[in-house]
Amino acid sequence: ESIRKFEDSICKEWIITNGLGGYASSTVLGLNTRKYHGLLVAAFNPPVNRHVLLEKLDEEIIFENEVFPLYSNEFKHGIIPEGFSFLQDFYLNPTPTYRYNVEGIEVLKRIVMPYKKNAVVVSYEVFNPHLRPITLKIYPRVNARHFHSVTCREKLGWSFVQTSFSNGTFLKIERPRVFMAISSGEGRYVPSEKWVDKVFYRIDASRRENPLDDYYQPGSFHFEITANTRKKFYILAVGASNEEYVKNEFLELNRGIEHVEALIQSEVNRLRELLNFFYAFQNNVQPYDWLNWLVLTADSFVVSRKSTNGFSVIAGYHWFEDWGRDSLISLPGLTLVTGKFEKARQILLTFKHYCQNGIVPNRFPDKTGDKPVYNTVDATLWFFNAVLQYLKYTGDLKFIKEELWFTLKKIVDYHVKGTIYGIKVDKDGLLAHGPQLTWMDSVIEGKAVTPRSGRAVEVQALWYNALKTMEKLAICYGEKEEAERYFAMAEKTKRSFNEKFWNTKTNCLFDVIHDDGSIDDSLRPNQIIAVALDFSMLSQERSEKVVNAVWKKLQTPYGLRTLSSDDARYRGKYVGGWNERNLAYHNGTAWPWLLGPFVTAFLKVKNYEEKWRIFAFENFLKELFTKQLFKAGLGTISEIFDGDYPHLPRGCISQAWSTAEPLRAYVEDILFKRPPFERQILNGSP
């Protein structure tokens, strides 16, 4: 019933991924509404340099000389044709599946990405109940653009070169180097080149970005279904910037309908095994549909990084790359509560590999993915916390000693003597830093929207947590003098923090103390991190007051607001063009990831009493898990939500830390399934 409510269905999107940073994604109507949609979006340099190759497949049923289009494309003047009118059902179980009915003819369309392949398989099952044959025609709409851009064929400096064969085609472009093979197991391919011009993306238009895109149509696939027959077909597409890769993968994958069905079943089995492993690892956890989706979605963010032959974390789909801060905040929820310790190790090693001047990367830009940028103060400190959480789950002191201990010590030394972007421990033990280095990093015309240079509250909390982690590790490794040094540094930081950051008027923490001594007393959620971390500088009394202040003013059903609605700078809706959205991004917009530290902090001050754990789930996480998970990006959690009711989802449809932190808090804090080595590690016991 809901599939026929256009305005509701057009807002529901699905995404499946391939473990390389690539993905397939569209709406439940099969109508692309943003430039990031596509059936094959391939990472040319995993997990980045992503290109839209196969935009979509448009199908027609030909019955008794009448053409029934199953597809829909939107143009400025409207949607032509409205093929979604034949759509009976859409379901994600676990792969996206469309069911159409035309004059009693049933068409089942299923989309699967083979794991670790820049490829997509679209299978069709068609039932013809009539006494006459029918024809299914499928038109591939292809492109060769970076996924941040759109194509205007009038301005192109390249063209497709097509080499067709009986049941498919090979396409190539020399500059940029793009190669693509598209084939069917049977049926015939008819080359008939044309362009579909000025396709309109309504979401991009609402974001005041260029909403017009041109598709290339190289030809069409023709399948005949005889009278009273059920027939299966498939379309396979492989694409990359390496011609040999495309040809080899194409030969491996394109081996008939039985092989394709085995590929589909293999992916279904892989996803089923992820769930089985999680419930075996977290024994006695009650299964729920929403929990299944959180576990499956968590896996989608952990991707291969070619440059290190290891793993990293995509911060969010569709458009984010692997960011240091997001990766390290997400690591416990994505890999530790799910028992994927080897992937956790590989992620830590990836960021160690790129550590320079005592700083881990802020992000890897999509177009230059092996050249990270380092404009961050907190990502490095979250690295220490990720190490601590890894140890709490594994007790693997040997790995940390052999692979990371030297790097961790060097990082501390760099921070003490001073490093890039003005990052340096001040004489009072607090960590000073330049502008636009925290997670609240929006900029308009070169000017920070939330200027937080100086000493940001969560940076001090993370610095103290890092020093205490180093102290405990030094004890475990028998380095007594180092342990004493880290202890003394931590105590100095703690004294200064409590003297300078407590706001006696509001009974909570200041957000920033600037270099000139001026104070930013904005009520923001950053202070909750000072309570949530394992090593906190706050007394029980002050911790309770911080939790209450954040709870009273910032909590929504889908995240914490980034600024109190009482503040004149508050923006309750994340809408409009780039500048308008950036004004709201950290000035009222609600972020689901913050529910993780909030739930942890809330239950810490409540001593994890069972009645408060039930209360926390019912009031802080339940609506996000049971309702929002099925409203925007299906089976996943959006990046942000409006601060104002009804808290509409915005930003990326699937965000790593939006999934990871609520999942971690649910397992560790609500269910109170604590990491097995927690007490040993926090006490510094070898």
Tell me what the mean pLDDT of segment 86-99 comes to: 94
76 Cα distance to chain centroid: 30
Q: How many CB atoms lie within 10 A of CB 460?
A: 25
- Per-residue pLDDT of 615-670, as tens digits, reads 999 999 999 999 999 889 999 999 999 999 999 999 999 999 999 999 999 999 99
Of the candidates 23, 251, 234, 252, which has an alpha carbon nearest to the alpha carbon of residue 118?
A: 23
pLDDT value, residue 684: 86
What's the distance, Cα to Cα, between the start and end of the chain in Å?
Answer: 60
Contact 523, 554 (CB under 8 A): yes
- Is residue 597 reached through a cis peptide bond, with omega within 30 degrees of 0 on the bond before it? no
> How far is 39 from 113, CA to CA, in rounded Å?
9
Contact 621, 665 (CB under 8 A): yes
- Per-residue pLDDT of 245-263, as tens digits, reads 999 999 999 888 899 999 9
> How far is 217 from 141, CA to CA, in rounded Å?
5
Dihedral sign for Cα atoms in the order 200, 96, 85, 5: negative
Share above pLDDT 70 across residues of the chain, in percent, rounded to a whole number:
99
> How far is 311 from 19, CA to CA, in rounded Å?
10
> How far is 658 from 625, CA to CA, in rounded Å?
11
Q: Is 630 exposed, middle or buried (0-12, 13-18, 19+ CB in 10 A)?
A: middle
In the three-class reduction of DSSP (H, G, I as helix; E, B as strand; rest coil), residue 594 is classed as: helix
Q: How confident is the model at residue 371 (pLDDT cuts 50, 70, 90)?
A: confident
Tell me the helices (H) and strands (E) count for the chain, helix number first.
20, 36
pLDDT at 523 over 50: yes
pLDDT at 370 over 90: no
The per-residue b/e assignment along 245-280, b for 16 or more CB within 10 angstroms, e otherwise, is bbeebbeebbeeeebbeebbeebeeebeebbeebbe
pLDDT at 3 over 80: no
Tell me what the mean pLDDT of segment 270-289 comes to: 97
Of the candidates 195, 197, 200, 216, which has an alpha carbon nearest to the alpha carbon of residue 75?
A: 200
What are the phi and psi torsion angles at 406 (to 5°)?
-60, -45
- Per-residue pLDDT of 385-402, as tens digits, reads 999 999 999 999 999 999
The model's pTM: 0.95
Of the candidates 66, 81, 91, 87, which has an alpha carbon nearest to the alpha carbon of residue 12?
A: 91
- Per-residue pLDDT of 282-338, as tens digits, reads 999 999 999 999 999 999 999 999 999 999 999 999 999 999 999 999 999 999 999
> Mean pLDDT over all residues of the chain?
96
- Per-residue pLDDT of 77-92, as tens digits, reads 999 999 999 999 999 9
> How far is 96 from 8, CA to CA, in rounded Å?
18
Task: Please give the full DSSP string across 35-69, using - where no structure is assigned.
Answer: TT-EEEEEEEETTEEEEEEEEEEEEEEEETTEEEE
pLDDT value, residue 369: 65
Instruction: List the structure tokens of 35.
Output: 């430039």
pLDDT value, residue 54: 98
- Per-residue pLDDT of 137-156, as tens digits, reads 999 999 999 999 999 999 98
- Return the bridge partners of 224, or none: 135
* Residues 6+ positions from 437 with CB-CB distance below 8 Å: 375, 376, 377, 378, 421, 423, 452, 453
Share above pLDDT 90 across residues of the chain, in percent, rounded to a whole number:
93
Length of the chain: 686
Instruction: List the structure tokens of 529.
Output: 């991190």
> How far is 529 from 597, CA to CA, in rounded Å?
6
Q: How confident is the model at residue 578 (pLDDT cuts 50, 70, 90)?
A: confident
What are the phi and psi torsion angles at 48 (to 5°)?
-125, -170
pLDDT at 347 over 50: yes
Q: How many CB atoms lie within 10 A of CB 485?
A: 17
Instruction: List the structure tokens of 527.
Output: 């202070």
In the three-class reduction of DSSP (H, G, I as helix; E, B as strand; rest coil), residue 225 is classed as: strand
pLDDT at 158 over 90: no
> How far is 486 from 453, CA to CA, in rounded Å?
25
Q: How many CB atoms lie within 10 A of CB 435?
A: 18
* Residues 6+ positions from 7 with CB-CB distance below 8 Å: none
Of the candidates 663, 675, 598, 669, which has an alpha carbon nearest to the alpha carbon of residue 300?
A: 663
Q: What is the set of domains in the chain, with CATH numbers?
A: 2-270 (2.70.98), 282-682 (1.50.10.10)
Q: How many CB atoms lie within 10 A of CB 493?
A: 24
pLDDT value, residue 1: 47
Query: Which of 372-376, 384-388, 574-578: highest mean pLDDT?
Result: 384-388
Phi-psi region of 228 (alpha: psi -120 to 50; beta: other; left: phi over 0): left
